[in-house]
Amino acid sequence: GENVEQHPSTLSVQEGDSAVIKCTYSDSASNYFPWYKQELGKGPQLIIDIRSNVGEKKDQRIAVTLNKTAKHFSLHITETQPEDSAVYFCAADSNYQLIWGAGTKLIIKP
Amino acid sequence: DTAVSQTPKYLVTQMGNDKSIKCEQNLGHDTMYWYKQDSKKFLKIMFSYNNKELIINETVPNRFSPKSPDKAHLNLHINSLELGDSAVYFCASSHSRGKSGANVLTFGAGSRLTVL
């Protein structure tokens, strides 16, 4: 079955710098790759997603890139701000459900 | 407010007890889910219902039983609670599951269960 690996588990960056979180997946049939942000005490919330017919998608300071050949996708956050501090999850669709990565705790240092 | 609402937000109980967590969504979605998040933040799907029909039933103990009286509600009942059941349980909903699972999930705020 599908396996999604996410790295790093913890990422600490200086405010204003960029952050990159990477995920790899195993099911070549996966076509949908969302990223969710979970703030403390809240449920995960979709921040951006990408489908396999595109290689990159941007939304203001957030971008996602997808390499279907290599089976990996990445989340890029530029000009990080304190409110970006959260746990980020990647996921990939497989067999009628989402398979989730283990999460990355992003810490923004002032 | 349009949302996924879970009650209770916190639940502290003794081992062996039976408890329920309720979930309601007013988004008009036809698929609802229960996820378990452990202390390491790992998200694990437990159940999924589409229009009151069970479509995903991952390997969870029989002590966990979901009940969907209508497509806006999905409750989780847990019998004979054990220490290992302590976790945060999230309800979520989405539009039709489609053919690829490519659905946007809206999560509730979570219910933190502590078993003593």
Q: Which of A25, A93, A105 to mutate: most B Cβ within 10 Å?
A: A93
The answer to whether B96 and A25 have CB atoms below 8 angstroms apart is no
Question: From the list A87, A95, A97, which residue is nearest B41 (CB)?
Answer: A87
Looking at residue B99, what is its pLDDT?
52
Q: Does A46 touch chain B (CB under 8 A)?
A: yes
Would the pLDDT of B56 be above 80?
Answer: no
What one-character DSSP code corresponds to residue A11? E
Does the beta-carbon distance from B56 to A96 stay under 8 Å? Answer: yes
Looking at residue A12, what is its pLDDT?
98
Q: Does A89 touch chain B (CB under 8 A)?
A: yes
* Rounded mean pLDDT, A14-25: 98
Residues 6+ apart with CB under 8 A from B71: B29, B30, B32, B49, B51, B52
What CA–CA distance (Å, rounded) separates B116 from B31?
33
Looking at residue B55, what is its pLDDT?
79
User: Out of A14-28, A67-81, B86-100, which region has the weakest mean confidence (pLDDT)?
Assistant: B86-100
DSSP line for A19-67? EEEEEEE--TT--EEEEEEE-TTS--EEEEEEETT-SEEEETTEEEEEE
Would the pLDDT of B96 be above 90?
Answer: no
* Rounded mean pLDDT, A29-49: 96
The answer to whether A30 and A24 have CB atoms below 8 angstroms apart is no
Residues 6+ apart with CB under 8 A from A34: A46, A48, A49, A50, A90, A91, A98, B104
Question: From the list A42, A49, A100, which residue is nearest B43 (CB)?
Answer: A100
Residue type, A73: F
Does the beta-carbon distance from B90 to A96 stay under 8 Å? Answer: no
What CA–CA distance (Å, rounded) separates A31 from A93?
7
What CA–CA distance (Å, rounded) separates A43 from A21?
20
Question: From the list A36, A43, A103, which residue is nearest B108 (CB)?
Answer: A43
Does the beta-carbon distance from A43 to B56 stay under 8 Å? Answer: no
Does the beta-carbon distance from A87 to B105 stay under 8 Å? Answer: no
Maximum alpha-carbon separation in chain B: 42
Q: pLDDT tens digits for B12-43?
A: 999 999 999 999 999 999 899 999 999 989 99
What CA–CA distance (Å, rounded) separates B47 from B91?
10
